[in-house]
Structure 1
Amino acid sequence: MTLITETRDIATCRALRRTVFIEEQGVSEADEVDDKDDDAIHLLATQNGKPVGSARLLVMGDTGKVGRVCVLAEARGTGLGANLMQAAVARFRSVPGVTKVKLGAQTHALGFYERLGFTAIGPEFDDAGIPHREMVLTL
């Protein structure tokens, strides 16, 4: 059974991010770890009680920013990533004044986010050595 919940277990979310971003994708620890975790809303996805994915949500005025979305390799292709993103968008819909959701998508994942209703805007940019595009969804 898959469950997505809001959590304050930042250590578990960071461990998932370490596996996906630092170990798999070669992102430096300096690029992955920042000072925003304490101010964020964290979503944790578990399958049969085991943590397999997470996302970090930041409220910035009228904008909800989704970041650090990760799913362990063993859970990819199961719809978990889409469920995690849908939970993130639903969480932002519950925040008064938030009218749009933004994220920086790795370019290989543009189609994934487009299927969820996001639109790419602006030019491609480099984030931690990985090409990205900014994407937005109006609530």
Structure 2
Amino acid sequence: MNKISVRLADWSKDNADIRRIREAVFIAEQSVAPELEWDSEDAQASHFLACEGDYPVGTARLLDDGHIGRVSVLKDWRGLKVGDALMEAAIAEAEKRGLRRQMLSAQVHASAFYERLGFNIISEEYLEAGIPHVDMVRNSD
């Protein structure tokens, strides 16, 4: 296996890869309705692609207000620290932009992953797209 690299993606140029990954993870695996997965924020968001060699295997996005979301890794690459690499890139980009507070809506089963990265749960559990979520926040020092 090659080393995983993460790069800032271009929504218009990398759209097919971003869509392929998110459709596989959220729509096919988790049964999220397509109309809930795709929103108007995608066009303005900063997107990240994690690649093994030249092959994109994960993606995430950062909104201008510090919200990190749509973190998704293809099934065969899970457990290989791809999610960590994506989150580290998104957090670093947020901090570079002076966004000292990063937020996300985490699927409950993934909350421990985000806690490892310094996020804290700040809400009760709620359903989003039929999946239990919690709001989480991380403050940069």
SS class of match (2:124)? strand
Structure 1 unaligned segments of length 5 or more: list them. Answer: none
RMSD: 0.8
Are residue 24 (structure 1) and residue 29 (structure 2) matched?
Answer: yes
From 64, 69, 79, the equivalent of 1:59 is 64
* CA distance in structure 1 between the partners assigned to 2:20 and 2:85 by the alignment: 20
Q: Indicate conservation of the 8 Å contact 1:5/1:44, yes or no.
A: yes
The percent identity for this pair of structures is 44
SS class of match (1:123)? coil
Aligned to 1:103: 104
Q: Indicate conservation of the 8 Å contact 2:50/2:85, yes or no.
A: no
Q: Indicate conservation of the 8 Å contact 2:47/2:60, yes or no.
A: yes
Q: Deviations over 1:73-130 (max 9, x none)?
A: 111000110111011100101003x120000000001111101110000111111000
Q: What TM-score do the two structures reach when normalised by structure 1?
A: 0.94
Matched length: 135
From 16, 40, 43, the equivalent of 1:11 is 16
Q: Indicate conservation of the 8 Å contact 1:10/1:42, yes or no.
A: no
Structure 2 unaligned segments of length 5 or more: list them. Answer: none
- The residue type paired with residue 137 of structure 1 is R
Q: Deviations over 1:53-78 (max 9, x none)?
A: 00011012xxx100100000111000
